[in-house]
Amino acid sequence: MKTYLVTGGAGFIGSNFVIYMLNKYNDVRIINIDSLTYAGNLENLKSVENNPNYEFIQVDICDKDAVNAIFEKNDIDYVVNFAAESHVDRSIENPEIFVQTNVLGTLTLLCAAKKAWSVGDDVYKDGVKYLQVSTDEVYGSLGPDGYFLETTPLDPHSPYSSSKASADLVVKAYFDTYKFPMNITRCSNNYGPFQFPEKLIPLMINNALSHKDLPIYGDGMQIRDWLFVEDHCKAIDMVIRDGKLGEVYNVGGHNERPNVKIVETIIDYIENNVDDSVGSHLIKYVEDRKGHDRRYGIAPDKIKKDLGWYPETTFEVGIQKTIKWYLDNRDWMQNVTSGEYQKYYEKMYSKK
Ligand code: NAD
Ligand code: TYD
């Protein structure tokens, strides 16, 4: 039985990963550590909370003593680091916490794992691995042509993406300097259940259902490359099992869409299936995001060729599943949009 230390497992992708792994395998043990920021929600994990192979511990990844204690008490085989501040708009307002969690938190995990796994000078226990969950945003912005390859130079623009790029470089330094067993995955934009409604897709679904404005930044022609979250979870599972040590793997399904098309798809679904008073009159073009990246597009050739990964869910199927999930889980949406969210939303959108 392999033991996974999953960090940030109460957030969007982390909770999907914990559920994916426990549903797929009987012989994995998962310890989920999460500090439960505004983005962490144990309600996401209700379906697995009583699973004997699952344990939750509230821990900040920057807390060295607490992280070391977890490695001392448990025989950890793999670390999967999802824990992060993840929202670009928040990083523009308050960059400091992004460097704190995303860079220093990553370093804390690396130090603890290195200490626990070392069996000699730059020699580690058999089969252990640290996986850093990174993002395509570290590559910066593309023009109309071409794709991000693993060899594309890092050129991040936002405080969020620069903190993720910094973390990637620290992880790489651990491999180059100490032969520390690691991989990095760089995935495109995810969508699916349990995504916090500060991000484009759940925000638009929530606003449309409550007849609020649908705020599109700038001209709405920025392009993101969307991947259903389960396909990202599958990629992470495969990289942990079969990824060659020291390698970076890009993850994406060639699903590029301009933001305005995403919003129109959501409006059409809700108008035709839920509430015909929802329509494109709700769209409001607002001030653009500072430093807004124009286009992201991942070339996933390496993970396809080397590990046999491919995305299983088309955008047409995935977006319908996602909208239905939010419709069926309105209590979840209500819970996460009460409290801190209201203040955030008013601050973010009242000035636009
Ligand atoms: P999220 O914001 O939904 O969740 C982040 C989780 O980390 C939350 O549960 C939060 O409580 C926890 N956390 C934050 N600071 C912490 C700390 N100091 N200690 C412990 N836990 C802490 O984020 P997400 O969208 O699920 O993203 C997860 C990871 O995937 C991030 O590293 C992000 O950079 C990366 N990523 C996200 C996307 C995307 O489209 N969402 C795409 C590619 C990569
Ligand atoms: P987001 O979901 O924040 O992800 P990221 O910035 O990490 O790609 O935003 C996706 C795209 O949608 C991005 O180009 C910004 C845009 N956007 C809007 O136009 N309006 C919004 O209210 C939000 C949250 C995002």
Over residues 203-214, the pLDDT tens digits come to 999 999 999 999
pLDDT the model gives residue 13: 99
pTM for the whole thing? Answer: 0.98
Provide mean pLDDT across the span 313-325.
98
CB 189 within 8 A of CB 137: no
Q: Which residue minimizes the CA distance to atom 20 of ligand 2?
A: 216
Return the structure tokens found at 53. 């192979």
CB 174 within 8 A of CB 115: no
Residue 352 has pLDDT above 90, yes or no: no
What atom of ligand 1 comes closest to residue 199's alpha carbon?
A: 41
Position of tokens 């790029």? 165
Q: Is the dihedral of CA 301, 318, 90, 61 positive or negative?
A: negative
From the candidates 60, 77, 137, 225, give the one annotated as an active-site residue: 137
Assess whether 160 carries a catalytic annotation: yes
Average pLDDT, the chain: 97
Residue 340 has pLDDT above 90, yes or no: no
Q: How far is the CA of 41 from the centre of ligand 2 (A)?
A: 21
Ligand 2 touching residue 189 (CB < 6 A): yes
From the candidates 4, 20, 54, 160, give the one annotated as an active-site residue: 160
Q: Which residue minimizes the CA distance to atom 17 of ligand 2?
A: 200
Probe target for ligand 1 pocket from 86, 186, 233, 262, with the most ligand atoms within 8 Å of CB: 86
Over residues 174-204, the pLDDT tens digits come to 999 999 999 999 999 999 999 999 999 999 9
Residue 261 has pLDDT above 90, yes or no: yes
Share of the chain above pLDDT 90, in %: 97
Q: What top-level class would CATH report for the domain 2-192+228-251+295-313?
A: alpha beta
* 3-class SS of residue 23: helix
Strands 223-225, 256-258: pairing is: antiparallel
Ligand 2 touching residue 188 (CB < 6 A): no
Position of tokens 């570290």? 138
Over residues 55-114, the pLDDT tens digits come to 999 999 999 999 999 999 999 999 999 999 999 999 999 999 999 999 999 999 999 999
Position of tokens 């209201």? 342
Ligand 2 touching residue 187 (CB < 6 A): no
Over residues 107-162, the pLDDT tens digits come to 999 999 999 999 999 999 999 999 999 999 999 999 999 999 999 999 999 999 99
Q: Which residue minimizes the CA distance to atom 17 of ligand 1?
A: 60
What atom of ligand 1 comes closest to residue 185's alpha carbon?
A: 44
Return the structure tokens found at 342. 């209201």
- Helix extents (H) in 118-185: 159-178
What atom of ligand 2 comes closest to residue 217's alpha carbon?
A: 19
Ligand 2 touching residue 203 (CB < 6 A): yes
pLDDT the model gives residue 86: 98
